[in-house]
Amino acid sequence: MVTQTTEEYVATRRIGDATVTLINDGIFDAIPLIPWMDAPADAVRRAVPEADANGAIGHSGIIVAHVRIGHASILIDPGVGELDPRSWLVTDLKLRRTRGVQAGLAAVGIQPEQITHVLITHAHDDHFLGATVRRDGQHLPRYPQARYVIGRADWAGNPAREDPDSAVALRLGALDRRGLLAVVEGDAAIVPGVTMLPAPGESPGHSIVHVASAGDHFYYLGDLFHHTCEVAHLDWVMAHRNTPAMMAHCNDSCKNGPYCVNRSSRCLWSHCHYGFRQRPLR
């Protein structure tokens, strides 16, 4: 059973001996799904009847996950933080904010200083801006005791690092300069029961996170998918993606992988189209 707060943007459930809490950091009301999809527009529209005349969908969340397992307190994708209202996430994608990640964590008794790890699935703004907080003109770690982890290809080979004004340079760079940013490649064990797995395509270093405890499994899929139509049509991917890599991974994970959607593992992607009333954990 999923437990919800009265605000209905926080949901918690047990995964074996681990506790997974989902926090919705915001809702996109204008994701241009059909224009962005590298697939026949008429076929996508039939599969996405909720799309408006411009091919956009709403009610797409920014779902952040927190995992308590053993002595670890792990945050997966820290959300957008104090977002500039001029950001394209607001002006173009019509992002509406909830009470945010900090209030969501507080609702389940977790303070920033208790977070031991922050796992970043990929270096897109809506997945890592909340890793830092700006104080006295500086970007500082929002979770001061945490180790921050990202796929190597999203840091070491990221051209945004060359732009001093980019969010990657300013925010992830601030973590790196303090020795808090760790890069991983391949299957990377974070703590017993939590593993980051490479899933390139959305970005070169995109990762997913596997939580395994007492025979139960949860997969946080990041941006492996954006909508259920991509699960039903594995050859449909976003046009900006590294399509061959993403298609190969989607096909393998959904048909052969341990988190196959036809098996008992619970899976969630970041921009889940479902509200908490509609069981975001599967």
Q: Determine the pLDDT at residue 243.
A: 63
Name the residue among 68, 94, 77 with its Cα closest to residue 15.
Answer: 68
**Cβ-based neighbour number of residue 247 at 10 Å:** 17
- What is the mean predicted confidence (pLDDT) over 43-62? 95
Look at residue 29 in the predicted model and tell me its pLDDT. Answer: 94
Query: Which pLDDT score, from 0 to 100, does residue 251 have?
Result: 59
pLDDT tens across 55-113, in order?
999 989 999 999 999 999 999 999 999 989 999 999 999 999 999 999 999 999 999 99
Distance CA 159, CA 6 (A): 43
Cβ 54 vs Cβ 32: under 8 Å: yes
Q: What is the pLDDT of residues 256-281, one digit of tens each?
A: 554 444 456 788 899 986 543 334 44
**What are the φ/ψ torsions at residue 35 (nearest 5 degrees)?**
-60, -30
**CATH numbers and ranges of domains, the chain:** 3-192+270-278 (3.60.15.10)
